[in-house]
């Protein structure tokens, strides 16, 4: 059987998030929103308010160690930057949320070089669709991605313009 031969430039990386004790009058879920922030140095963070006193949840979107997904170490705190980068953001921009670390977790991002998803049909295998590279923001689009994939399966095409997510876009360098 012939293989499709796709060699997608998807890079998994190890990312950390933490929940920090915070001033609940400022950072509880009824008064403080989910947020994204970019520092003057270009660092990108995201976070959520404290739900039921869980602490402010924060992660860094633009930094992680490239990893082999079969060998990821999911132990939070094995690297100093697991906590230090996110705590440093809180110290500088949200000092009333820079309390004790309640919990830390490790997750895995898988991105394309341009950080756009891949949603397309595999050339030469038009009955096969692919959707990949959703890390960091794909969950917000799950319903429309599901709709696109179901349209592919049922109709062989989609009504959505997905050209930005094409396998043939320059950032993927697939031939």
CA distance 172 to 9: 6
Q: Is residue 148 part of a domain?
A: yes
Q: Does any domain span residue 7?
A: no
Domain boundary among 53, 83, 108: 108
DSSP code at position 168 = T
Instruction: Pull the structure tokens for residue 133.
Output: 């590279």
Q: How far is CA 1 from the centre of its chain?
A: 35
Mean pLDDT in residue range 48-57: 97
Question: CA 167 to CA 69: how far, in whole Å?
Answer: 22
pLDDT confidence tier of residue 5, bands split at 50, 70 and 90: low
Q: What are phi and psi of 117, to 5 degrees?
A: -65, 170
Return d(Cα 31, Cα 42) in angstroms, integer.
Answer: 27
Tokens of 95: 């000092």
- C-alpha span between 118 and 112 (Å, rounded): 8
Does a structural domain hold residue 67?
yes
Q: What is the pLDDT of residues 70-99, one digit of tens each?
A: 999 999 999 999 999 999 999 999 999 999
Q: Check whether 123 has a pLDDT greater than 50.
A: yes
Please report the sign of the dihedral spanned by the C-alpha atoms of residue 61, residue 64, residue 68, residue 71.
negative
70 and 31 both lie in a single domain: yes
Q: What is the pLDDT of residue 147?
A: 95
How confident is the model at residue 2, as a pLDDT? 42
Residues in the chain: 175
Percentage of the chain exceeding pLDDT 70: 95
Assess whether pLDDT exceeds 60 at residue 47.
yes
pLDDT at position 37, please? Answer: 97
* Number of structural domains the chain divides into: 2
**Residue 125 is part of which domain span?**
118-172
The region, left, alpha or beta by phi > 0 then psi within -120 to 50, assigned to residue 69 is alpha
């Amino acid at each position: 059987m012939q293989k499709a031969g796709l060699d997608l430039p998807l890079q998994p990386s190890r990312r950390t998030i933490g929940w920090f004790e915070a001033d609940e009058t400022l950072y509880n879920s009824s008064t403080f929103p989910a947020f994204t922030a970019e520092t003057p140095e270009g660092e990108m963070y995201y976070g959520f308010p404290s739900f039921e006193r869980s602490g402010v949840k924060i992660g860094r979107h633009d930094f992680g160690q490239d990893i082999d997904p079969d060998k990821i170490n999911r132990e939070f705190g094995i690297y100093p930057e697991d906590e230090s980068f996110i705590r440093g953001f809180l110290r500088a921009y949200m000092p009333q949320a820079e309390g004790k670390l309640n919990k830390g977790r490790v997750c895995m991002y898988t991105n394309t070089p341009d950080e756009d998803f891949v949603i397309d049909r595999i050339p030469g295998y038009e009955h096969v669709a692919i959707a990949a590279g959703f890390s960091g923001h794909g969950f917000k689009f799950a319903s429309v991605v599901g709709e696109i994939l179901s349209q592919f399966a049922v109709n062989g095409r989609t009504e959505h313009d997905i050209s930005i997510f094409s396998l043939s876009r320059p950032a993927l360098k697939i031939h």
